Amino acid sequence: MVDAVVTSPPYVGLIDYHEQHRYAYELPGLADNRQSEIGAAANGQGGAAKDAYCADMTSVLLNVVSKLRTGGTLVVVAADRHALYPGILGSLDVVQRHVMKRHVNRRTGRRGSHFHESIFICAKE
C-alpha cells in the first residue's frame, strides 16, 4: 500500500502521445500499441471519445486507488475543460477534498497559448 499518488493523465483528444514519442518504441523494437492509447487526438473529442476516455480513466484510477491505504492521497492534474473528472472521481472510493486551478503559460516552446489545469486533491475512504 502507498500513502499518495500524483498523476497527470492524458487529455481527451488533445495529443497523440504514441506518435509524439514513436522513436521510444521503434528504437528498441517494441510493438505499436497506439490503439490502446487513452484519449488519443486521433479519436477526437466527440461524445463517444469522451465516454471511452471516462471509462478508461475510471478503470486506471480504480486500480491506482486500490493500492492506496485508507486516508491516502490521490492528486490528479488535468486540463479538464470538458468537466469529466468530477464524474470520474465520483466513481472511485475517494472523497474530493479540494480543487485548485493552475494557470499554465507556455509550458513548452511549441505552445504559445495559455490554459488552466485543475488539480484535484482526494483522499481514499
Per-residue pLDDT of the chain (125 residues; tens, 9 = 90+): 999 999 999 989 888 888 888 888 889 998 888 888 899 988 999 999 999 999 999 999 999 999 999 999 999 999 898 999 999 999 999 999 999 998 877 655 555 566 788 999 999 99
Sheet holding 2-7, edge to edge: 2-7, 68-78, 114-124, 94-105
pLDDT recorded at residue 62: 98
What nine digits make up the cell of 125? 475512504
Q: Which residues share a beta bridge with 95?
A: 123
pTM of the model: 0.85
Distance CA(82)–CA(12), nearest Å, equals 9
Helices and strands counted in the chain (H then E): 4, 4
pLDDT recorded at residue 113: 65
pLDDT recorded at residue 69: 98
CATH dotted code for 2-124: 3.40.50.150
Is residue 32 within 8 A of residue 95, CB to CB? The reply is no
- Among residues 67, 61, 71, which one has the least CA distance to residue 9? 61
- Among residues 57, 19, 61, which one has the least CA distance to residue 39? 57
- Amino acid (one-letter) located at 60: V
| Residue 9 DSSP class | P
Place of cell 521503434: 26
Is residue 41 within 8 A of residue 18, CB to CB? The reply is no
